[in-house]
Amino acid sequence: MAADDDHPVRRAELALVRARMARLRGNRSGAIEVLNGALDEVVGSEPGLAARLQVERAAVAAPGGWPGIGRVWADSAVRVTVSGPDPMLHAHALAIQAMARLSSGDTAGGREAATACARMVDDLSLDDASRRPSTLLTLGWSELHLEEHDMAVRHLSRCLSLVDRWQWELAASARAGLGELCLRHGRYAEAAVHVERALWLARKSGAVETAASVLDLRCRLQSATLDTGCAIDELSKALLHLPTDNSVMLSARLTELEMRLAAGQVDMSEADFVEQCGGANLPLLGAPCHPSAYAALARAALAKGDQRTALTWASRADKAAKWLGMAGRTAIAETAMAECATTPEERLRHAAGALAAAEQAGHLPAVAQAFTLIAREQMPHGVRGTAEALTRADDLATLMGARRMTRRINTLRAETERADSATPPQSPLLDGLTPREREVAVQVSRGRTNRQIARELGLSHKTVETHLSRIFNKFEVSSRAAVAARVGHDASSD
């Protein structure tokens, strides 16, 4: 239709539809190409239509993949709509600007744009808001990334009330945002309701990108609750329909990396993940995702026994979190540092920092994880309060229904009880091991086989062998009995 139409205005209107269709399929590069072509035709003759095209183009580029140009386009869209006849279009441009600035790492600029947009949309009547519910959706997601959770709930819920029965793709995105908020706050049962409804809506609307995003959320939820019907295979199939430069594709690959780590797999694809994101600085991934991505890469290196590389990635996570200046991201980075630091004092300090940041953000899963890290660090050194930290973590895990975390807490509690009944002399050489290596060394000193250690710590047999090899190198020994002697116990041969 567009090719046969000689009128540039009608071609531009059709371009908006074509771009929307390409975007729903995840082809954001194709959507931008269509919008740029239409914009060239009307930019000097139809300022109102050109403004709509610029806003739509910025919306396509804002979330990630084009963080630099997305911000330029969003700023331009705000300028061309500020004095225009449609205040809702200007509000929409502000919401996009908030997302684009945050994706490029400008937290203060993103918060400023989101606040300006919220002032406009909160004064709108129901009829005015219903003309452009996507503004509420974009604003809600921007506030979610900014960790302005109360505001995000308000605007996503308002959007959902407007579109739940008639605009399925927007409703799916709004429910996914609410599900993400529930996941962060440990309300897993409520998150599951939003996720299943969002997935149904996304599939009914044919929104491939939205469906993949919801499947990503479902995987993270099922990983926390240890549900048997894990959606990782379903997610992998959905990603086959998305281009490799799509921001949802990159976020989903991060989820896949995290889930494989949780399963104890050491043959990680972190190099492929870094390559997909454009290099070690992850330029194609939005800045709010950087702390999580670097933390996952740190854990992948740690699983291979490469503590130096792990600490490098964890330090990048810390730097990215400090740049963003948000408590939730700080908790993620401090957790990574607590897992990778080389001395007990540093590990305990970072675990305490993760706890403070997680409590400030209200992220209950991160709070429980921080308590677990504190208990794990205190236990080998006989510090009192280990049981209290485990109890706090267990209470939160039970409240949330986080069965994976509960299983880990039970393992640590069993270790604590055994340590209380027969506390071994603590070798100073243990301070040179990572937390996981210390756990393996203590298990070896108690005569456990590699397979028994794997079951006890929830690791793969190959991962235990890797840790044991690193312990041998650090202790400069070649037998399990020598490791046991260093730790302070007698051990039997494997």
Residue 34 reports pLDDT greater than 50: yes
Name the CATH topology of 426-494: Arc Repressor Mutant, subunit A (1.10.10)
The residues, ordered by sequence, that sit 6+ positions from 129 with a Cβ below 8 Å of its Cβ are: 121, 135, 136, 158, 162
Could you tell me the two tokens for 256? 């896949």
Tell me which residue has tokens 């340590």. Answer: 419
pLDDT recorded at residue 242:
84
Among the residue ranges 133-137, 411-415, 476-480, the one predicted with the least confidence is: 411-415
* Band of pLDDT at residue 383, cut at 50, 70 and 90: low
CATH number, span 1-142+151-163: 1.25.40.10
Summarize pLDDT for 44-57 with one digit per residue, the tens: 788 889 999 999 99
Confidence (pLDDT) at 491: 39
Give pLDDT tens digits for 270-293.
788 888 888 899 988 889 999 999
- pLDDT interval class at 184 (50, 70, 90): very high
Please tell me which residue, 372 or 242, carries the higher pLDDT value. Answer: 372
Task: With beta carbons less than 8 A apart as the criterion, state whether 416 and 379 touch.
Answer: yes
Across the chain, what does the average pLDDT equal?
86
CATH 1.25.40.10 location in the chain: 1-142+151-163
pLDDT at residue 357, as a whole number: 96
* Alpha-carbon dihedral sign for residues 349, 304, 262, 426: negative
- DSSP H helices in 82-207: 87-103, 107-121, 126-131, 133-145, 149-163, 168-184, 188-205
**Range(s) within the chain of domains with CATH label 1.10.10.10:** 426-494
* C-alpha to C-alpha distance for 52 and 34, rounded to whole angstroms: 13
pLDDT of residue 385: 59
Question: What pLDDT is recorded for position 229?
Answer: 53
* Whole-angstrom distance, CA of residue 488 vs CA of residue 491: 10
Lowest mean pLDDT among 70-74, 101-105, 431-435, 472-476: 431-435
Residue 489's pLDDT band (cuts 50, 70, 90): very low
Lowest-confidence segment of 125-129, 181-185, 420-424, 456-460 by average pLDDT: 420-424
- The mean pLDDT of 93-110, rounded to a whole number, is 95
The whole-number pLDDT of residue 419 equals 58
Find the radius of gyration of the CA atoms of the chain: 25
pLDDT tens column, 430-478: 667 887 888 888 888 877 888 888 877 878 888 888 888 888 888 888 8
Encoding tokens for residue 292? 């999580």
Q: Residue 266 pLDDT more than 70?
A: no
Q: Which residues, 6+ apart, have CB-to-CB distance to 119 below 8 Å?
A: none
Q: How confident is the model at residue 146 (pLDDT cuts 50, 70, 90)?
A: very high
434: tokens are: 């990572």
Sign of CA pseudo-dihedral 296, 301, 303, 304: positive
Backbone angles phi, psi at 415, to 5 degrees: -60, -40
Considering only 8-17, 50-59, 238-247, 392-401, which range has the smallest mean pLDDT? 238-247
What is the number of other CB atoms lying within 10 angstroms of the CB of residue 88?
A: 17
Q: Are 184 and 328 in contact (CB under 8 A)?
A: yes
Model confidence at 424: pLDDT above 60: no
